[in-house]
């Protein structure tokens, strides 16, 4: 039992395959639209139920001894490392182009 993103990647690959389209056409040849709709909703419901089962199985992700605070902190830390470091790098590039690399400390006179 598990929630695997690889399965969804494989589904997308099958979705663009004309052999899959032909097979689906033959499978749904004498069916009404409500049968197709019921099949789609049943499949979607099974996928959602699978995700819900896995998140119950991995219950400690959101009910750990530190509570949700740990999850929020880790989310914030990930955001900070991705976004703020990128922002600081852009500022450093602007400063380096104005003063030269490290020049804001060595000789703070713009070029």
> Per-10-residue mean pLDDT for the chain, 111 residues long?
68 85 91 92 86 67 70 89 88 82 66 59
DSSP 59: G
> pLDDT per residue over 49-63, tens digit each?
877 776 666 666 666
Reading the block at residue 107, the tokens are 């000789």
Regarding pTM above 0.95, the answer is no
Q: What is the pLDDT of residue 14?
A: 82
Q: What is the pLDDT of residue 1?
A: 41
Reading the block at residue 51, the tokens are 């995700």
DSSP 83: I
């Amino acid at each position: 039992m598990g929630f695997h993103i690889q399965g969804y990647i494989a589904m997308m690959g099958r979705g663009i395959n004309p052999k899959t389209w032909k097979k689906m056409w033959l499978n749904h040849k004498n069916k009404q639209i409500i049968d197709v709709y019921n099949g789609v909703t049943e499949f979607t419901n099974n996928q959602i139920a699978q995700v819900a089962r896995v998140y119950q199985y991995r219950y400690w992700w959101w009910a750990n001894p530190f509570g949700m605070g740990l999850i929020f902190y880790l989310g914030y830390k990930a955001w900070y490392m991705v976004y703020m470091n990128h922002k600081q790098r852009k500022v450093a590039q602007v400063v380096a182009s104005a003063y030269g690399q490290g020049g804001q400390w060595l000789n703070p006179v713009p070029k």
